[in-house]
Structure 1
């Protein structure tokens, strides 16, 4: 049935909310309160064409998964689309342009900081706020990066390094670099292909991708973008307040072919990301109880804060895949994770996005070296993320005992400005060159030759706790 614009405009409030997506007119009234992003995200689109808003975050498959067939009321006459008016706050409208309106050629970007600068210019304002924001005063976010600067290198000379080998193994899967794609939510904010573009780039560059719990695309779709059936993909899990949803997610990931489950535990509640919240004040103005809630807070409202170490037994009842705990922030919990038999841990403070003034992950790695060095020689792999922007950062972490490092924001930034997969591969090309050249400077022909004595940690060790009780 063809509907007129005036018919659709009459359904523009909480009592009767219709939206237009790809020409289809959907009654989403009954879905408002169950929308993970909050009702007001939909209500601001009520009676309007929400296609651009929907496409900036979701894949088309979500419509049939989230809404019953009865929600489709008909289709709008194409000639009537312009009568609905523009949607204020459309992410595409806030893109700032360079002088000629185009992003710089990829060849002119020469480090990861360049990608961040371009992303800030070309990302929609609300996407930039969601990606780049951190908790409170963003002290932890800044210190994550600064910790690497406090460690200096001790190069060796005349070592006759003719070639370097940057390969390693992550949970039994060979990778070309000691780098993996950290789980990053709503990658479609950055590029229409989102996590699918990341999967394609990961396959061509020989990396592992950890798919976010809040990915824009379903895991089955992302799996299709791999370059070969053997390309590993890991699945992130936030434990839902409704445990049945987490059961379904794990089973779905296993069925789709995920090779491990990474349980994120450092955000039992969402940090106060003020930039994100300020950007979204106008989007939630219709509901006084929701004012100031940013994208992160509404998207993560279903995370359960009521879990403990027993969650590992629950996971093992569902799958025998390797389990990684993401969010270790002190040596005591690293030891507990080892005692509970996980296959890996991620030392992480969530990129400074959860609790501000939490210590830097690199400092936690030094704690492990000092107070629980046996963990570094165990079968449990140790990963680290947060603030890594240079090849030298990667090598410092590896020299101190990490198996590999995770990058999150840089992958999102490299997707932006329309770069997509090409941007991701260019960013990795830069990082790969920095890793290889600095291995040569250090006199190391392989990652296994990177040793603690190649770095000077004295300045960072001054910040380390004096003693712990294990």
Structure 2
């Protein structure tokens, strides 16, 4: 059935909401309240072409999963929608440059910060705000990186290091570096291939990918993008307010071939990410009846704050896959996690995106070393993320007891500016070289030779809490 633009525009309210996506017109009225990103993000496209908004976040196959067949009302000619209003327009910062010649060649990017600078210039404004923003004053975000700067290396000389071995094992899976892809939502903001490009790059570089619960692509599609079924793919889980949706997600993850579940617990509510929220307010400027909230809050509005340690029993009833708790922020909870028999924990404050002034994950690792050293090299692996940008950061974390480190934003930034998979692989190559060269400086041939005495953490240790009760 052919739908005219005039007919589409009539259905522009909560009572009757139609949207056009790739020429197909859908009635999404009944879907508004169940949309994981909240109803407002759909309502601002009510009666309009929502293709750009949809494609920036989702893959096309999501429509068949989320909407019943009766939601399809007909089709509309693209020419009728050519000047439709889309509130989420990319920034034109890059093209406004009179010397604009496209993004710089990958060969000219020589560290991870270079990728961030390119991303800031070439990402759409809403994507940059979502990726880069931290909570409140962004103190935790900044301190995550500063913590590594407060730890010095203590190199050993005359060790005759011919080669170095950067391999390790994450939950029983061999990897080429002690680095994994942290779960980072909506990778399609950075590149159309999103998590599919990340999966391909991870396979070719020998890394583990932890797929975000709020990924742009389904776990089935990402699993298909791997080089082989043996390529490790882990699944992040946010417990949904509708527990049945989480049950369905875990079952799908298991069926798709995920080898572990990483349950994220550090964001029972979403942090106040002001950069993200300010940008959304500018989009909503002419809609005084709407409260502006950023991509993060709309995307995470379905997360349940009503969970406790018993959620682990619920999860084990669904699967016998290894379980990792992501979001440990103090030694006391690290010990409780160990007592509950999880296979791993991630020391993380959500990249400084949840509670601002929460201590850095590296400081939490020092807490564990001081108050619960039995957790180091135990049956429970310890992972850490937040603020890691250099090979030296990776080695400091490993020397202090971490199994591997996670990077989130850098992988997203490396996708941007059209780089895609090639950008990710270039970024990994840079990090690999930094790790290898600094292992040589330290005088070690393998990661297992890294020891606490190879770093001086005295300046950071001054920030340790005086005592804890375990």
With the shorter chain as reference, the TM-score category is over 0.9
Residue 90 of structure 1 and its aligned partner are, at CA, apart by 3.1
Q: Distance in 2 between matches of 1:215 and 1:88?
A: 22
- Is structure 2 residue 165 aligned with structure 1 residue 165? yes
Matched, 1:441 2:438: no
Q: Cα 1:368–1:283, aligned 2, differ >3 Å: closer, same or farther?
A: same
1:288 CA displacement: 6.0
Counterpart of 1:55? 55
What secondary structure sits across from 2:376 in the alignment?
helix
Q: CA deviation at 1:95?
A: 5.7
Q: Is the 8 A contact 1:44 1:283 kept in 2?
A: no
Q: For 1:314-329, what aligned pairs fall within 5 Å after superposition?
A: 314-329=314-329
Asked if residue 452 in structure 1 is aligned to residue 455 in structure 2, the reply is no
Residue 86 (structure 1) aligned with residue 116 (structure 2)? no
5 Å-filtered alignment, 1:403-422, equals 403-422=403-422
1:74 aligns to 2:74 (yes or no): yes
The structural deviation recorded for 1:446 is: 0.3
Q: For 2:282 and 2:361, locate their aligned partners in 1 and report how far apart those are by CA, in whole Å.
A: 35
Quote the Cα distance in structure 1 between the aligned partners of 2:206 and 2:144: 26
**Is the Cα contact below 8 Å between 2:280 and 2:294 reproduced in 1?**
yes
Q: Does 167-176 or 100-109 show the bigger shift?
A: 100-109
Deviations 1:99-150 (A, max 9, x none): 3241111010000000000000010101100101011100000000000000
Moved more, 99-108 or 450-459: 99-108
Q: Which runs of 5+ in 1 are unaligned?
A: none
Q: What corresponds to 2:112 in structure 1?
A: 112
Q: Please tell me whether the aligned partners of residues 91 and 122 of structure 2 are also in contact (alpha carbons under 8 angstroms).
A: no
Are the counterparts in 2 of residues 170 and 403 from structure 1 also a CA contact under 8 Å? yes
Per-residue CA deviation, residues 441-469 of structure 1 (Å, 9 max, x unaligned), is 00010000111111001100000111111
Instruction: Output the TM-score relative to the length of structure 2.
Output: 0.97
Partner of 1:364: 364
Alignment partner, residue 224 of structure 1:
224
Q: Conserved in 2, the CA contact under 8 Å of 1:40 and 1:284?
A: no
Root-mean-square deviation (CA, aligned residues, Å) is 1.4
The answer for the alignment partner of 1:242 in structure 2 is 242
2:50/2:86 contact within 8 Å kept: no
Displacement, 1:79? Answer: 3.7
Change (3 A) 1:274 1:322: same
Q: Tell me which residue corresponds to 1:270.
A: 270
Calculate the TM-score normalised by the size of structure 1.
0.97
Instruction: Specify every segment of 5 or more residues in structure 2 that has no aligned partner in the other structure, as ranges.
Output: none
Alpha-carbon contact 1:151-1:456 (below 8 Å) kept: yes
CA distance in 2, matches of 1:9, 1:36: 24
- Number of equivalenced pairs: 468
Report the 3-state secondary structure (helix = DSSP H, G, I; strand = E; otherwise coil) of the residue aligned with 2:405.
strand
